[in-house]
Chain A
C-alpha cells in the first residue's frame, strides 16, 4: 500500500494548486448595465396550405403541420391555458395540466400528466391541437410528436417579447379575428409598458437577486422570464453570469458580495441561515425582500405577467406614482 503514497501526495498537491490558481471569479461584466430585454421577433411563421391546414415554420428549421381553427385543444401549462382564455378560445379546450386552475372554470376539464407528458392521456382526449412550451417540454417533445399529430410549440418562458410572439402565433393558428385582435392588444400593452418603464430606469441600476428556492440558494439567471422582467425594469440580475440554463445553485458568497438592493424570492419566509448570511445587504437591511417567484402571475408565462410587471415596477421604480405614468391593464391605481 506504500506505493499509494506518492500518488496521494501528487493528488493532494494538484488539488491545492488547482484550487489556489483558480482564484476568484471575475466580477460579472453583466452587473454594470442592465441586459436588453429579449426581442419580439417571431420564432415561427404560419404558412396556410388550405382553409383548415397550415405548416408552422420554426426559426430553427423545424416544420410542423397543424390544423387551423382547432376545436379540441389540450393545454399543457397554466400560462398557455390563461393565454387561450385571453384569446377567447376557452370553449375549445378539452384538456389541461394538473396545475391549470385559472380561470376556475377549466378545473372541470380532465387533467393530463405533464411530468413527463403522457402521450396516452393526450391521445385519449382526441385533441386536434396540443400546445406545448418548447423549452419547458423539450425532454418530452420527441415522444409526444411521435404520437400526437398536431402539436404547436410556444415560447412562454424566456422573455416578454417571445411571449408576445407566442400570443400572435397562437392567435394565427386559432384562425379567429377576435383572437388576433386580443393578441395585438396584449402586445401593444407590452410595448406601452416597456416604454413607460424605460423612462424610470435608474443609474446605477438596482441589483436584484432572483431566488427560485431558498435552500440551497437556487437563483434564476439569464434565460428565465423573470430575468427578462428585470431587464424591462432596467434592473440587473446579480446572478447574470450564472452559466447554466436559466437557473442553478448560486454561490452564497457571491450573493453576499454583490449586495442586492432587492431580493425577489419564493412566498415562504427566508430561512434564518440565509437571513443572517445576507443581513448586510441593502435588500435585507431595508426590508426589500418580495415574494414574487411563487406568485402565479410571475411564475406562469401568461397574460397576467404584464400586470405583475407593472406592480413590480411600482414597488421598485415608483411606476404609476406620476400622473403621466400609465398604469398596467387591470392594475389597481
Chain B
C-alpha cells in the first residue's frame, strides 16, 4: 500500500512539474528549475504558473475529498458537489453577496468564501434531507433532487447576475471554472480549508466506513449518525464552497476521482481520502495545463476541460453499473 501512495505522490509531483513546465510560452526547463529554486526569477513561472498550479493542487484535492465524503454519506456512487447542486448553491451564495455588496464584478475572496459556504450549506441541507427521507429508490431521488435544486439555483444566480452585476462577463467566466483569478491570498484560504476539512474528514474515516453500511449498522457500530452527518456533511460543503469561492464551478472532479482512488487503494476511507486528495490535485493541475495550452493563445475555461474528461466517465460508469 505504501508503494501505491508513493506512486500517487510522484504523480502529483509530475503533474505539478507539467503544470509549471508547459504553457503558451516556452520556458526552458533549466529556467523553470532555477525559478523554482530561487536561482532566477522568471516572471512567467513565478507570477502565472506557480499560483495556478498551487491553486489547482488545493482546489483539486478539496473537490475530490468533498466528492468522496458525499459519496460515502449519501451512499451514492454518483454523488459529487456539482451534480448534487452544492456547487451551484455556493455560486448562488457568491452572487447574492455580490448583489448585496453592490459589487460591479466579483466580491472580495473572504466574502466569496463565506457566502459560498452559506449557499452550499443551504443546498446541502436540502439534499441531505431528501436523501435521508427517501425510502424507495434513494439514489434516483437524491440525484433528481440535486439536479433540480442545482438547475434552480443556477438559474436564480444567472438571473441575479444579469440584473444586478454590471461586469457579469467576469462572473460568467468564473462560473465556468478558472484558476487564473486566484491570488496567493485565495490559495492560502483554500489551502487552510483543505487542511482543516481534510484533516477532520480523515480523523472520522472510520465513521465514514461504518456509515456506508447503513444507518442501522452505524448505530450498532457506535456512530452517532445525525452528528456525524452534520459534521462530515458540513465539512464536505465547506470544502466544495472554498473551491467555488476561489476557482468557480469545476465539475466532475468530485465524481470521478474518488472512484479512481478506490481503484488504486481499495475502499477504506482512511486510504480513499488521501488517495482522492492526491489524484484530484494532480488531475486538476493537468486539466488546467490543458486549458492553458490546448487552444493557445486563447485559454479554455477549466470547467469545460473537466467536463470534457468527466462526462464520458459518468456515462461509462452509469452504463457499466446498469
Contact = CB atoms under 8 A, between A and B. Distances in A.
Interface of A: 1-5, 8, 11-12, 15-16, 18-20, 22-25, 28, 213, 215-218, 239, 241-244, 248-254, 256-257, 273, 276-277, 280
In the A-B complex, the 5 residue pairs with the closest CB atoms:
A24-B26, A25-B296, A5-B263, A251-B24, A4-B263
A22 B294 contact: yes
Interface of B: 11, 14-15, 18, 21-26, 43-44, 47-49, 105, 167, 169-170, 173, 178, 180-181, 183, 259-260, 262-264, 267, 282-283, 286-287, 289-290, 292-299, 301, 309
B298 A16 contact: no
Given A16-B14, A254-B296, A24 B25 contact: yes
Nearest to A281: B43
B183 A256 contact: no
Contacts of B289: 19
B18 A16 contact: yes
Contact of B24 (A11, A25, A276): A25
A16 B16 CA distance: 11
Contact of A216 (B24, B173, B290): B173
19 contacts: A1-B267, A8-B260, A8-B263, A12-B282, A12-B286, A15-B283, A15-B309, A20-B18, A25-B24, A216-B173, A216-B178, A239-B297, A244-B298, A249-B301, A250-B297, A252-B299, A253-B24, A273-B183, A277-B47
Contacts of A241: 297
B15 A251 contact: no
B178 A257 contact: no
B290 A15 contact: yes
A241 B294 CA distance: 14
Given A22-B22, A253-B23, A243 B298 contact: yes
Nearest to A4: B263
Contact of B299 (A5, A16, A216): A216
B21 to A, nearest CB: 8
Q: Among the interface residues A19, A20, A25, A252, which one has the most CB atoms of the partner chain B within 10 A?
A: A19
A4 B24 contact: no
Contact of A256 (B14, B48, B260, B301): B48
Nearest to A244: B298
B296 A213 contact: no
Contacts of A276: 47
B169 A16 contact: no
A28 B297 CA distance: 9
B102 to A, nearest CB: 15
A257 to B, nearest CB: 4
Contact of A280 (B43, B167, B295): B43
Given A1-B259, A23-B22, A256 B47 contact: yes
A187 B11 CA distance: 62
B283 to A, nearest CB: 7
A20 B15 CA distance: 10
B263 A3 contact: yes
A213 B170 contact: yes
Contact of B181 (A20, A215, A254): A215
A241 B282 CA distance: 30
A12 B283 contact: yes
B61 to A, nearest CB: 16
B23 A24 contact: yes
B180 A216 contact: yes
B24 A254 contact: yes
B206 to A, nearest CB: 20
Contacts of B293: 19, 22, 25
Contacts of B262: 1, 4
Contacts of A16: 14-15, 18, 286
A42 to B, nearest CB: 32
B263 A254 contact: no
A1 B316 CA distance: 13
Contacts of B44: 253, 256-257
A254 B25 contact: yes
B172 to A, nearest CB: 10
B260 A216 contact: no
A213 B170 CA distance: 8
A8 B14 CA distance: 16
A6 to B, nearest CB: 9
Contacts of A28: 297
A25 B22 CA distance: 10
Among B15, B47, B309, the one with the most A-chain Cβ atoms within 10 Å of its Cβ is B47
A22 B1 CA distance: 34
Contacts of A249: 173, 298-299, 301
A276 B43 CA distance: 10
Nearest to B178: A216
A61 to B, nearest CB: 31
A20 B297 contact: no
A15 B286 contact: yes
A251 B23 contact: yes
Contacts of A256: 25, 43-44, 47-48
B309 to A, nearest CB: 7
Nearest to A11: B309
A18 B283 CA distance: 13
Given A16-B286, A19-B289, A242 B297 contact: yes
Contacts of B11: 12
B25 A19 contact: no
A165 B316 CA distance: 55
Nearest to A218: B169
Nearest to A241: B297
